[in-house]
A = this chain, B = another copy of it.
Amino acid sequence: MSEVISMVHGSGGSATGELIDKVFAAEFSNDILDAMEDAAIVSAKGSIAVTTDSFVVTPVTFRGGDIGRLSVCGTVNDMLMRGATPSYMTCGFILEEGTDIELLKKCVHSMAETAKEAGTRIIAGDTKVVEGHGGFYINTTGVGIVPDGVDISASNAKEGDVIIVSGTMGDHHAAILAERMSIETDIASDNAPLVEMVTKLRSLKVHTLRDITRGGLGTVLKELAETSGKNFTIEGTKVPVSAKVSDFCGLLGLDPLYMGNEGKLVAIVAKEDADKALKAIRSSKYGENAAIIGEVSGKEPGRLFLKTELGGIRELDVLQGEGLPRIC
């Protein structure tokens, strides 16, 4: 096989077959995928959670992860946010001509490893080739199984609920930006599958879960306030930010409230279970820095407020303007 992707790899003929065999099938092998049918058939009794996401992050590798790990974490976490077990995943690759096949293999291996960590099976895939300069995109779609009785939804937040975040804000955003600006730092992306954390939370009175990705905590909370028709108030000093990211933000004039993460969630939990939920998150992999940051009230539907360090109150909106392009 040539060492970079060329248009012939997209033909659907023998070169495509060779690419699939050598790069994808070996890493993702399982009895369902290996059947190479038009559609994979799996059993699903009850409710299923379905989510899709495309990954266009640049650069494709970065401190703490790569596009492969990211593409699994993003979709696995979206299934988890509905309380589902992230059982199955599909992947679609759009490869530009000139893609380095060794780099591709590295990212595919990383996908396979992360899928294993998350307990997810990749059951269908597709590969296309386009002109370009050696970049590539990955779409992942998840099909999760929702356990009986689980009802976690953006609209379920209730007056009196407590708002918990599972860790420090802005790590993924800062790591990508540092790579792109060639800033020397040891800030690493937080890209991680939150399976253990959500599994532990399922037995508690958790009303809403949302992973804090593109747009950051501010955007996510404003959207949840609107969806649930509740009023959210958070305290700025309680939002966890690592010292490194805090310094990085100070230097560049960035606001961690609007910076994307890829392994953090916000949980909205009934007050009586808040301490248990915090403990459950802190005792889970990737949750050691969790904190209670605010509460839900019924006063001003759809609005999000921040109590500042100096005791002031500032209303927050979703992210305006560009943020950081191609962060995920």
Residue in B43, B125, B139, B141 whose CB lies within 8 Å of A46: B43
Q: What is the minimal beta-carbon distance from A10 to any residue of chain B, in angstroms?
A: 6
Do A322 and B38 touch (CB < 8 A)? Answer: no
A204 interfacial contact with B, CB 8 Å: no
* B residues less than 8 Å from A39 (CB atoms): 49-51, 78-79, 81-82, 84, 142, 144
B124 touches A54 (CB 8 A): no
Contact check, A14 vs B319: say whether CB atoms are below 8 A apart.
Answer: yes
CB distance from A30 to the nearest CB of B (A): 13
Q: Which of B90, B137, B153, B219 contacts A52 (CB 8 A)?
A: B90
The reply to whether A40 and B51 contact each other, CB–CB distance below 8 Å, is yes
- How many chain-A residues does the 8 Å CB contact rule pick out? 82
CA distance A56 to B139 in the complex (A): 13
Output the nearest chain B residue to A326 by Cβ-Cβ distance. Answer: B130
A252 in the interface, Cβ–Cβ < 8 Å?
no
A8-B322, A44-B44, A215-B12 are known contacts. Are A50 and B143 too (CB-CB below 8 A)?
A: yes
20 more contacts with CB within 8 A, not counting A8-B321, A139-B139, A143-B143, are A12-B260, A13-B319, A13-B320, A14-B317, A38-B79, A38-B154, A38-B209, A39-B84, A41-B82, A42-B47, A45-B46, A52-B90, A52-B126, A53-B126, A56-B94, A56-B130, A92-B92, A94-B94, A128-B137, A137-B137
A residues contacting B by CB (< 8 A) are 7-8, 10-17, 35-56, 77-79, 81-82, 84, 88, 90-94, 123-126, 128-130, 137, 139, 141-144, 146, 153-155, 209-211, 213-215, 219, 223, 227, 258, 260, 317-323, 325-326, 328
